[in-house]
Structure 1
Amino acid sequence: MKTSRRSLLSGFLRSLQRDPKRTALRIGDEVLTYAQLWQRAAQLGAAVQECADPSASVAAVLANRSVTEYAGVLGILATGRGYVPLNPKFPIERTLAMLQASGCSTVIAGQECIETVMALLPLLERPVTWLLDGDEFRSLLEDSHKSHFLVPVTDLPTHLDPGEPSLSDNATAYLLFTSGSTGTPKGVPVSQSSVCSYLDYVGKRYQFKAEDRFSQNFDLTFDLSVHDLFACWDAGATLCCFPEQTLVPVTTIEEYELTVWFSVPSVGMFASKLGLLKPGAFPTLRLSLFCGEALSCTLADNWQRAAPSSVLENIYGPTETTIAITHYRWDAKRSLDECINGIVPIGWIFENQQCCVVDENLRPVATGQTGELCLAGSQVTSGYLNNPERTASQFVPIPAMGDQTWYRTGDLVRQDERGCLYYLSRTDHQVKVNGYRVELQEIDLVLREAAGVELAVAIPWPVSDGSASGIVAVLCGTNSSVDARVFELCQKRLPRYMVPTAVYHFEQLPLNSNGKLDRRQITEQLRRMGAGRSS
């Protein structure tokens, strides 16, 4: 059944109606009002509506920090479909896998991605309609491309009216892909109701207002970007996207007079190393949010001093639980004493969501005991796209907690008597690298193929303040003659943040008590060798 209801688009439409002349988007020096951004979105949405299969539940957007990217997302949502962001910085093979897995037959493409489009066209096995936004595509139209349909958006003069789309009960708002241990990215469809639950809660908690100016640090393939866009537009505020060539994102705080900051801690750590977190450096900030990886108490303390008027919160949540689902507010007087191993707590569960800490048999543990964090509630998604086996292993009932379905995060935590959660480590080989979720086994597969050996392992390195800033490859039974092949294949198969920065060759690799490669001991060997030295 399809009805009109609160959707991911609702806040933007409300802001458009309330003050169409207010600035909605700034990309470098380019500024668009809500009316101007909607005009572009309405054109792209009309193109999707006219060209897409009426039964298709999603459409993709391939663009990068351009008006096409943001307007394309809004235009797709306006048709009642969910959006699938594609990243031109990803390897072609990965983008191809994501596009094919999503089932998308319609893609909005920005002219900054012409090379990616040209690379994808001969590889796609099924027909795809490409809605091309920009004059750079004119040369592409002159060539034949099998059964694909290449349509210049400017040739479709119609526009959509700014109204709520008709949505089914479980309509998808967006579809993202996370790293998978089998080498195939896992699709996570997030419903309109799940993301609206998130937006309603954070809007109430943080009291965003039209005068706010939001940072936009995350690529759209990163789920935290959903907060950037829609928490901002829900409030009628201005989204400030820094140009692609910006090397140090925190410099935009002063340049754009930002009031709301959101990033992974790695961005703050980089700024700290450059000496940019001087006391009082960011006087305009009133809210600073960090998510995506462990937040060190040192960074939190330094950032708070740099932004003395800002509330600082550490928020936490896997993609499967819609952006974030816990929060911890930093307090300069008491928080340093509450950190474990120098890491800021992940805090308390959002209102109307649920958490449970369990042992390996899914039995709730006593307060203060270590266990795996499981999550439930309106923000928790229903599973993985076309992957019932993985869904069944991660979305489970907890017998002692009734019939509700819980998502197993794989994160080991401890919960105190106040209900505050403390992140400790992982139960598996998943790590965060500069905020991106990475399955190390996915990299291992590529390393073994490239090096032609079985003893090949990816190690997060170097690690600082609980977070990894890169990956290195450790091989056994090879020598430096395979290094070029390793880099070549990794760059071809993996996103940039998963490509090893160095290759080390060990005569032997340590094993744990179960006879498996012991990544912890390997990491310790790397530490003893010294960062940056070859073996």
Structure 2
Amino acid sequence: MEIQQPIGGPLRGFLESTRRVGSRPALFVDGKVHSYEDLGRLAGNIATTIRKTSPPSMPLVALLAHRSLTAYAGVLGILGAGKGYVPLNPKLPTERLLRILTLAGPDTLVVGKEAKKHLELLLPKLPQRTSIICPDLEDLESVSLAHPQHQFVVGSAMAEGSLTDGSSREGNDPIAYLLFTSGSTGDPKGVPVRQSNLAAYVGYIADRYGVTEEDRFSQMFEMSFDLSVHDMFVCWERGACLYAMPDHTVMAPSKFIRDHGITMWFSVPSVIGVMEKLGMLKPGAFPTLRGSLFCGEPLLSRHAQAWQEAAPNSFVENLYGPTEATIAITHYRWTPATSPALSKAGITPIGQAFLGQATCVVDAELRSVAAGENGELCLSGSQVTQGYWNNPEQTRKQFVTLPDRGDQVWYRTGDLVMEDQDGCLQYLGRIDHQVKIRGHRVELPEVEFTLREASRSQQVAALAWPVKEGLAEGIVAFVAGGAEGEAGAILQHCRRVLPDYMVPSQIRFLEHLPLNVHGKTDRLKLRELLKEEPR
């Protein structure tokens, strides 16, 4: 298969689809269908307004919106203005959003009406004068008077203009989006994904799956989760329609899939487990699906098989990739006859690298290991980003050269894998304290940093617990020297600064945390304490 690298930025596909099938549906959201022409018209106005409020030297614009017309038009409009978008999830605590805004430094914020209350909480604390663009709001007079240091642009005051590709300058490779992942130092890490990174991914995936304007894509991921980027841009690359799922359907989507004739499905694997428990995975339940993708956490082989039986007309693929490698970079196609035997410990393989991308399994000295040996997975290629946002120290640590691979730069994933004789990668776990919870990457040291702040104890530990069939369902925290009565205040502080999936489900207080022979917290003993608890 020849790799066709798209020319231009991620907007190129949307603009080409608008020219080719402009009257066809591009987006279904809030019960309404919007054509490519209609969506592009609003995005063009947003882009033109941004150009008037933000100088070319500012590379980023933040987007505070959730499953709305403004959310999707905002992404397109920000890119059309030649900027990268910084998605702000309104479900996150205000303090977390403020920290992201401080680290990213945008001077413009696009806001959907569904996030107005969150905007009002942010406004008094924004780190700099900010232009606030509200495409679907009109009455902001009282808010504007209360915060005269900021500029407000309501829908009727927006400039009009057409949507164009904001990456047209030759040799220019602007940021497409900046996502923040959990960081081990207490601060989230910013990952700037360039338009060339995204173009490489979208072009390969759209070709691989033969996407056409007849397809209907599910869209269940939050915009702060990079898998949402796949939903939008692979869909719009070929003139298909994106179906934004209402929040109440995300974990139980059977009716939504059937009612809307979804053809291309993408979710975290844990959704399968929830649907299975609810009795939704009947054989032949989803006949309209022709493609089913799973990513973000290990895919159990029995879940892959259950989904295959529920969607008999669909291929099932397990994708793998960290944010630093642009959504996903390896794939494995499930084959009922052979895949169960290839799945180690009941976990579906993560397969092989996309064409044009590269993997390498290395030992502690970063030297390649032989097939069949365990090692850390390193990644390279046109999808791999250049480093972290304003964090050269972390960039030097994670983006390295390998002794036996010349000057090529590789990203160290921290994932433990084994590559078999056929070049198929098996995921074995992590080599550090990072875990996946509900598909989200979580650095346990960041949770521990927050626990120290809240408890004023230096001896704290956060463990992924319970872990069922290789999947972490939550976090349990241990604190030394505290009293049970302090748990409520500690958890309240955690909820104020951490996303809900990072907040511990319980706090356990011990006089001292157990130490191993090296004087470090003995996490194995703490795990044994949890195992001894009655279920």
Q: Bin the TM-score by the shorter chain.
A: over 0.9
Letter in 1 for 2:411: Y
Using structure 1 for the length normalisation, give the TM-score. Answer: 0.96
Q: SS of 1:76's equivalent?
A: helix
* 1:54–1:247 distance in 2 versus 1, CA, 3 Å: closer
In the alignment, what sits opposite 1:272?
Answer: 276
2: distance between equivalents of 1:517 and 1:144?
A: 49
1:56-135 matches, within 5 Å, as 56-135=58-137
2: distance between equivalents of 1:257 and 1:510?
A: 54
> Is residue 208 of structure 2 the alignment partner of residue 200 of structure 1?
no
In the alignment, what sits opposite 1:396?
Answer: 400
Q: SS of 1:267's equivalent?
A: helix
> Is residue 198 of structure 2 the alignment partner of residue 186 of structure 1?
no
Letter in 2 for 1:33: S
Q: SS of 1:121's equivalent?
A: helix
2: distance between equivalents of 1:12 and 1:304?
A: 31
Letter in 1 for 2:525: Q
Letter in 1 for 2:63: V
1: distance between equivalents of 2:33 and 2:94?
A: 31
* Aligned partners of 2:41 and 2:163 also within 8 Å: no
Letter in 2 for 1:203: A
2: distance between equivalents of 1:428 and 1:50?
A: 46
Letter in 1 for 2:10: L
Report the Cα offset of residue 510 of structure 1: 3.3
Map Cα deviations across residues 416-445 of structure 1 (whole Å, 9 max, x no partner): 111100111111101100000000000001
In the alignment, what sits opposite 1:246?
Answer: 249
In the alignment, what sits opposite 2:485?
Answer: 481
Moved more, 370-379 or 5-14: 5-14
* Aligned partners of 1:450 and 1:482 also within 8 Å: no
1: distance between equivalents of 2:392 and 2:61?
A: 23
In the alignment, what sits opposite 2:3?
Answer: none
> Is residue 265 of structure 2 the alignment partner of residue 261 of structure 1?
yes
Q: 1:502 aligns with which of 489, 499, 506?
A: 506
* 1:342–1:150 distance in 2 versus 1, CA, 3 Å: same
Report the Cα offset of residue 74 of structure 1: 0.3
Report the Cα offset of residue 160 of structure 1: 2.2
In the alignment, what sits opposite 2:390?
Answer: 386
> Is residue 298 of structure 2 the alignment partner of residue 294 of structure 1?
yes
- Return structure 1 stretches of 4+ with deviation > 6 angstroms: none
Report the Cα offset of residue 330 of structure 1: 0.5
* 1:13–1:429 distance in 2 versus 1, CA, 3 Å: same
Report the Cα offset of residue 125 of structure 1: 2.9
Q: 1:6 aligns with which of 2, 8, 15?
A: 8
Letter in 1 for 2:21: D
Report the Cα offset of residue 454 of structure 1: 2.1
Q: How much identity, in percent, do the aligned residues show?
A: 48
Map Cα deviations across residues 386-442 of structure 1 (whole Å, 9 max, x no partner): 100000000000011100000000001000111100111111101100000000000
> Is residue 303 of structure 2 the alignment partner of residue 303 of structure 1?
no
Report the Cα offset of residue 478 of structure 1: 2.1
Letter in 1 for 2:195: Q
Q: SS of 1:209's equivalent?
A: coil
Q: SS of 2:249's equivalent?
A: coil
Q: SS of 2:387's equivalent?
A: coil
* 1:11–1:348 distance in 2 versus 1, CA, 3 Å: same
* Aligned partners of 1:114 and 1:137 also within 8 Å: no
Q: 2:350 aligns with which of 341, 346, 352?
A: 346
In the alignment, what sits opposite 2:23?
Answer: 21
* Aligned partners of 2:9 and 2:195 also within 8 Å: yes
Q: Unaligned 5+ residue runs, structure 2?
A: 1-5
* 1:163–1:356 distance in 2 versus 1, CA, 3 Å: closer
Report the Cα offset of residue 244 of structure 1: 2.8
1: distance between equivalents of 2:365 and 2:250?
A: 47
Report the Cα offset of residue 368 of structure 1: 0.7
1: distance between equivalents of 2:166 and 2:491?
A: 48
Q: SS of 1:481's equivalent?
A: helix
Map Cα deviations across residues 292-337 of structure 1 (whole Å, 9 max, x no partner): 0011111111111111111000000000011000001101011111
* Aligned partners of 1:209 and 1:237 also within 8 Å: yes
> Is residue 232 of structure 2 the alignment partner of residue 209 of structure 1?
no
> Is residue 374 of structure 2 the alignment partner of residue 355 of structure 1?
no
* Aligned partners of 1:295 and 1:466 also within 8 Å: no
Aligned pair count? 528
In the alignment, what sits opposite 2:449?
Answer: 445
2: distance between equivalents of 1:457 and 1:515?
A: 14
RMSD between superposed Cα atoms in Å: 1.6
Report the Cα offset of residue 528 of structure 1: 2.5
In the alignment, what sits opposite 1:337?
Answer: 341
2: distance between equivalents of 1:147 and 1:164?
A: 29
* 1:149–1:261 distance in 2 versus 1, CA, 3 Å: same
1: distance between equivalents of 2:200 and 2:253?
A: 29
Q: Unaligned 5+ residue runs, structure 1?
A: none
Report the Cα offset of residue 5 of structure 1: 4.2
